[in-house]
Amino acid sequence: MQISKAEFKCSSERISQVPKDDLRDIAFIGRSNVGKSSLINLLTGRQSLAKVSGTPGKTRLINHFRINDAWYLVDLPGYGYARTSKVQRGEFSKLITDYVLRCEKLHFLFVLVDIRLEPQRIDLRFIEMLGENGVPFGIIFTKADKLSKTQREKSVERFRTALSEQWEELPPMLVSSSERGLGRDEILDFIDSILKV
Ligand SMILES: Nc1nc2c(ncn2[C@@H]2O[C@H](COP(=O)(O)OP(=O)(O)OP(=O)(O)O)[C@@H](O)[C@H]2O)c(=O)[nH]1
Ligand SMILES: [Mg+2]
């Protein structure tokens, strides 16, 4: 798939504010600082469409970017960063759980995972929640530029092993680097295929 048009549509602090049209959402979630906003910029080919920062907790709202006037790429706030909200009770904010579990626009969710890290409990718990609620999702490993090819393969395998303790059927997994432009075509082709479903 080619992205010929990408425009910021809106930021929402509640799911009642997300666009009311019937275009479907392809959303990105993961721990704060994992590289969600950077990946959105890579996919759209627009350097600063989504705000990127070395300080975790940069994205605090649900951001909709309208793609080719046909669907939305959605940048979500990260989880696992204690200072995101003072009133936040559970492990995942209400904004995140409301969107992921209740928003009918959501067509597919990519959970982003830093390829350098051992499987993190918070990611495994988030994935468990998706599985229990039947949310369609895949995994994208980020920051692949930080590892060699062999180390990347090991890391993906380690994650597969961790998931196979919970799941019989494993989700699709892709590898990316926003720094090097790696994985862009594979991810866009994958999105193309799920939008046809
Ligand atoms: N080396 C490398 N750094 C990356 C990559 N992707 C993102 N980063 C860096 O990681 C930091 C966080 O990137 P963001 O895209 O803002 O991460 P985020 O997941 O949107 O973060 P929050 O909005 O705070 O949850 C920035 O300093 C990016 O430059 C990558 O593929 N490789
Ligand atoms: Mg962000």
Give the pLDDT score at 3.
96
Protein residue closest via CA to atom 26 of ligand 1: 54
Q: How far is the CA of 19 from the centre of ligand 2 (A)?
A: 20
Q: Which atom of ligand 1 is nearest to the CA of 30?
A: 19
Taking the CA of 58 as reference, the closest ligand is 1
Helix-strand-coil split of the chain, %, nearest 5? 35, 25, 40
**What is d(CA 173, CA 77) in angstroms, rounded to the nearest whole number?**
21
Give the pLDDT score at 82.
66
57 phi/psi in degrees, rounded to 5: 90, 15
Give the pLDDT score at 81.
78
Q: Where are the domains of the chain?
A: 6-195
Q: Which atom of ligand 1 is nearest to the CA of 178?
A: 31
**Ligand 1 pocket by Cβ (under 6 Å):** 32-38, 52-54, 56-59, 77-78, 142-143, 145-146, 177-179
- The residues near 136 (Cβ < 8 Å, ≥ 6 apart) are 107, 108, 109, 194
What are the pLDDT digits (tens) for 44-98? 999 899 999 888 888 889 999 999 999 999 999 999 876 545 555 578 999 999 9
Q: How far is the CA of 132 from the centre of ligand 2 (A)?
A: 26
Exposure of 9 by Cβ count < 10 A (0-12 exposed, 13-18 middle, 19+ buried)?
middle
* pLDDT per residue rounded down to tens, the chain (197 residues): 999 999 999 999 999 999 999 999 999 999 999 999 999 999 999 989 999 988 888 888 999 999 999 999 999 999 987 654 555 557 899 999 999 999 999 999 999 999 999 999 999 999 999 999 999 999 999 999 999 999 999 999 999 999 998 888 999 999 999 999 999 999 999 999 999 98
Give the pLDDT score at 50.
92
CATH fold of 6-195 reads Rossmann fold (3.40.50)
**What is d(CA 148, CA 114) in angstroms, rounded to the nearest whole number?**
14
Whether the model clears a pTM of 0.75, i.e. scores above it, the answer is yes
Cβ atoms within 10 Å of 161's Cβ, excluding its own: 10
> Residue 23's Cα: distance from chain center in Å?
18
**What is d(CA 42, CA 180) in angstroms, rounded to the nearest whole number?**
9
